[in-house]
Structure 1
Amino acid sequence: MDRNDRAVTAFAMLGHATFHTYELVIPIFVVSWLEAFSTTTAFLGGIVGASYALIGVGALPTGLLADRFSSKRLILACLLGMGGAFAIVAVAPNIAVLTVGLFLWGAAASLYHPAGLALLSRGAKERGTAFAYHGAAGNVGVATGPLLAAVLLAFVGWRTVAALLLVPVLLAAVVGTRLEFDETAGSSARGTDDDTADRERPRSLAAFVASSRRLFTVGFALVFATGILYGVYYRATFTFLPDILADLPLFDPVSLVGRLFDPSQYVYSGLLLVGGVGQYVGGKLVDRARLETVLLGGYAALSVVALAFVPSTNAGLVPLLVVAGALGFLTFMIAPVNQEAISAYTPVGARGLSFGYSYAAIFGVGAVGSSLAGLILTRSTPAALFAVVAACAAIAALIGGTLRRRSGRRTRDGVTADD
């Protein structure tokens, strides 16, 4: 990676780690909020769910913005918006103000993925490697943010912890402001005509509709479908995985120095950290191997590991840890592969719009996975849940195979007109 690639990637990594730190810290606060405010579990769950849903709802308009304005400015706005929202959360005197803070957080957070991924797609020459580092940084936030919050809550109140979370986001904004880079260097290196790309960007409702029609070629529609399946797989698997692990006799609470520790929480955090390695490997693979082959193989492996999970819980600690580690590794390995697929099957001028549609699918439609998992676990067993998510991955693998057969119809950076 050259200097510009490193600067672009470092900036996106800051934003990604901060986004996921906030995303998964919110559930840590739920118990404290139930004690602090006069509300019910159902009502608070609805508020938190709606704040997450705003990420998907806002992804499409953010994608449009990312094709018209500087991605750097959008990401800085995202960071400052998330920090400001949590400042409101920290001082919220009642559930109404807390709701406002969480909704503002969701709206601000929706700026990140379309802008950040469009930046990497257009700005980085070694695009797969950039996606790899970007994904690994996200997993650092996923794993360390909740763990840090849980430790701090043992010593100080939730309002103090929420206020302390302003420190990393402000530091990220300051460091990000100082990073300088060319946002179009990667596209230029791949021979994309910036003037043509600029003409492709929608400037009115009619242009937006026309751009959307051009974007949804057969190739991109198939990639879009894998995004929905990935979102359902991810939410259905990980929303209740801590509870599934906690119910296993292998992970009964352990008493140490007068305190009870839940081993399942540490296994879950470790699984997410392994996912960071998976993100890195996935990004490297698509720089060195045929994209469609990696897509096919990755989703096929995800299907197999989902089917192996429940049997591993009855096979002893070591087999369970191996399968759980593989689940974390493969689930997050697919993320940069999906991102490269979006980049490869869209023209550069519609890159922000393409990530907007894709993350509306992953975060918005994919959120159905949480409800689906809850319904299945209420009426059936974890075995049924993992059979369903295995089927999602298997269908995505079939789509990967279809893309592999059609891959001769796309160019190195975008799709051909015959799609």
Structure 2
Amino acid sequence: MRDNDRAIVTFTGLAHGLVHTYELSIPIFVVVWLTEFPVTTALLGTVVAVGYGLFGAGALPGGVLADRYGSNLLVTACLVGMGASFLLLSVAPGVLTIAIALGLWGLAASVYHPAGLALISTGVEERGTGFAYHGMAGNAGIALGPLLTALLLLAFDWRVVAALLVVPAVGAVAYALTAEFDETAAVSTDGGEARDGDDGPPASVGEFLADSRALFTTGFALAMLVVTTNGLFYRGTLTFLPDILGGFLPPVTEFVRVFEPGSPLAEEFDLAFYLYSGLLTVGIAGQYVGGKLTDRIETTTGLAAVFGGLAVVALLFVPAAEAGLAPLLAASVLLGFLLFTLQPLYQATIAEYSPPGDRGLSYGYTYLTNFGVGAAGAAVSGYLLAAVGVSGTFLGLAVFPALGLVFAVTLWRLDE
């Protein structure tokens, strides 16, 4: 990779890792909040869905702003806002304040993906590799966020932990203020030139609507359906997964002899947190493989294969968990690997169906769909858990990758 490519990947990778550090620390806090406050999984799932929904809802205006003002300013503002929201979370006296803090986090974090991915798609010449490393950095945050949160919860109250999580954002802002790179270095090497009449970001509501109508070709619309099914399954699966895993795992004292049964440390050490973090760590390999595949095969072929695998894993996850620890670990590894292999595949697909001048807008729609509509997956899984239990929840969630397979195959046939 060239110096400009490396500078962009470093900048976006750091920010991406922090976005997901905060995002995936929330399910760890959910386990604590379920015992700390008199709430049901249905209510708390809805509260979390509000924050995650705003994480997606702000992506579209974020994409428009990225096209107009560039990515550096947007990403820096994102980092500042996320740190401030977790500072508010650290003083939350109840569920209402938690909902407000998560909502503010969602709005701040929402601008990252359209800004960061637009930057990679227009500034990094080795785009597939850039997406791969960017995704790996995100998964490092996805894995380290819950792991760091779980470890800190061994020693501190959850509010103190939320305050300590502000520190990385402060450091990232300091770095962001020094980053320099050419945001459009790769436009000439993009998969194609901008469409006729593509003269940059929309300057008015009328131009925004015109650009949006032009963007939504049949191919782009199908790609949005692919992104929707991914978002619903991603959020529906991960939000309550630490709590679900805890129902299948034996006490930690059966594995780690340094803990005395019934000791305070044994009670605080939740083995499910660490299996959850391990599952997310496996996603780093998935991101790398998915990114490399975008440079070697048709993205629609990769999407179809991964969605099919996820549907099978969802159907077999609970039977595997009930069969013992080894099958549960195997199912968790497959889930983590496949879930994150999807991301660079659909990100590259979006780039193929959108012009460079509207790349921020296209990723704005992508993450409005992925995280905004996808946030409903948290509420869906919360209500399914309350109504039909864990087995019924995974059967219901399996519908989403099955639909993703159908949409990916349809998109592949459209390109024939």
Both proteins in one fold, TM over 0.5: yes
**Counterpart residue number, 2:384:** 376
What is the distance in 1 between the residues matched to 2:253 and 2:170?
A: 38
**Counterpart residue number, 2:339:** 331
**Counterpart residue number, 1:163:** 163
Q: Is the 8 A contact 2:200 2:358 kept in 1?
A: yes
Letter in 2 for 1:344: E
**Counterpart residue number, 2:140:** 140
Letter in 1 for 2:236: A
Q: Which moved more, 1:146-155 or 1:193-202?
A: 193-202
1:227 aligns with 2:227: yes
1:313-348 deviation per Cα after TM superposition (whole angstroms, max 9, x unaligned)? 233322221121011100011011111111111111
**Mapping of 1:84-233 within 5 angstroms?**
84-91=84-91, 100-190=100-190, 199-233=199-233
Letter in 1 for 2:250: F
- Cα distance 1:298–1:102, how it changes in 2: closer, same or farther (>3 A)? closer
How far did 1:19 drift?
Answer: 0.7
1:178-214 deviation per Cα after TM superposition (whole angstroms, max 9, x unaligned)? 2221111122223755796861521111111111111
How far did 1:264 drift?
Answer: 2.4
Letter in 2 for 1:182: D
Q: Is the 8 A contact 1:56 1:362 kept in 2?
A: yes
- Cα distance 1:118–1:306, how it changes in 2: closer, same or farther (>3 A)? same
- Cα distance 1:103–1:237, how it changes in 2: closer, same or farther (>3 A)? closer
What is the distance in 2 between the residues matched to 1:300 and 1:33?
A: 34
How far did 1:88 drift?
Answer: 3.4
**Counterpart residue number, 1:238:** 238
Instruction: Determine helix, strand or coil for the equivalent of 1:184.
Output: coil
**Counterpart residue number, 1:318:** 326
**Mapping of 1:224-303 within 5 angstroms?**
224-248=224-248, 250-254=249-253, 256-257=259-260, 258=263, 259-260=265-266, 261-303=269-311
How far did 1:394 drift?
Answer: 2.1
**Counterpart residue number, 1:404:** 412
Letter in 2 for 1:80: V
Q: Is the 8 A contact 2:194 2:355 kept in 1?
A: no
1:23-68 deviation per Cα after TM superposition (whole angstroms, max 9, x unaligned)? 22234445767898xx753677655432222111111111111111
Quick one: which of 339, 360, 368 aligns to 1:360?
Answer: 368
- Percent identical among aligned pairs is 49
Letter in 1 for 2:180: E
- Cα distance 1:229–1:85, how it changes in 2: closer, same or farther (>3 A)? same
Q: Which moved more, 1:151-160 or 1:209-218?
A: 151-160
Task: Count matched residues.
Answer: 405
How far did 1:407 drift?
Answer: 2.4
What is the distance in 2 between the residues matched to 1:54 and 1:271?
A: 26
- Cα distance 1:209–1:236, how it changes in 2: closer, same or farther (>3 A)? same
- Cα distance 1:402–1:238, how it changes in 2: closer, same or farther (>3 A)? same
What is the distance in 1 between the residues matched to 2:235 and 2:345?
A: 18
What is the distance in 2 between the residues matched to 1:336 and 1:181?
A: 22
Q: Is the 8 A contact 1:126 1:287 kept in 2?
A: no
What is the distance in 2 between the residues matched to 1:405 and 1:57?
A: 31
**Counterpart residue number, 2:60:** 60
What is the distance in 2 between the residues matched to 1:26 and 1:320?
A: 23
Instruction: Determine helix, strand or coil for the equivalent of 1:245.
Output: helix
Unaligned runs of 5+ in 1: 409-419
Q: Which moved more, 1:338-347 or 1:165-174?
A: 165-174
The normalised TM-score by structure 1 is 0.88
Q: Which moved more, 1:62-71 or 1:364-373?
A: 364-373
Q: Is the 8 A contact 1:196 1:349 kept in 2?
A: no
**Counterpart residue number, 1:41:** 39
- Cα distance 1:105–1:381, how it changes in 2: closer, same or farther (>3 A)? closer
How far did 1:304 drift?
Answer: 2.0
- Cα distance 1:166–1:103, how it changes in 2: closer, same or farther (>3 A)? same
- Cα distance 1:397–1:31, how it changes in 2: closer, same or farther (>3 A)? closer
Letter in 1 for 2:296: R
1:309 aligns with 2:317: yes
Instruction: Determine helix, strand or coil for the equivalent of 1:251.
Output: coil
The normalised TM-score by structure 2 is 0.89
Letter in 2 for 1:125: E
Q: Which moved more, 1:285-294 or 1:5-14?
A: 285-294
- Cα distance 1:159–1:302, how it changes in 2: closer, same or farther (>3 A)? closer
Q: Which moved more, 1:18-27 or 1:192-201?
A: 192-201
What is the distance in 2 between the residues matched to 1:88 and 1:231?
A: 27
What is the distance in 2 between the residues matched to 1:378 and 1:84?
A: 33
Unaligned runs of 5+ in 2: none
What is the distance in 1 between the residues matched to 2:177 and 2:26?
A: 26
Instruction: Determine helix, strand or coil for the equivalent of 2:286.
Output: helix
- Cα distance 1:171–1:228, how it changes in 2: closer, same or farther (>3 A)? same
Instruction: Determine helix, strand or coil for the equivalent of 1:16.
Output: helix
**Counterpart residue number, 1:15:** 15
How far did 1:70 drift?
Answer: 1.0
- Cα distance 1:104–1:241, how it changes in 2: closer, same or farther (>3 A)? closer
- Cα distance 1:185–1:92, how it changes in 2: closer, same or farther (>3 A)? same
1:356-413 deviation per Cα after TM superposition (whole angstroms, max 9, x unaligned)? 11111111111222222223333324333333333321221222222222225xxxxx
What is the distance in 1 between the residues matched to 2:140 and 2:186?
A: 26
1:215-235 deviation per Cα after TM superposition (whole angstroms, max 9, x unaligned)? 110000000001111111112
Letter in 1 for 2:144: T
RMSD (Å) for aligned C-alpha atoms: 2.6
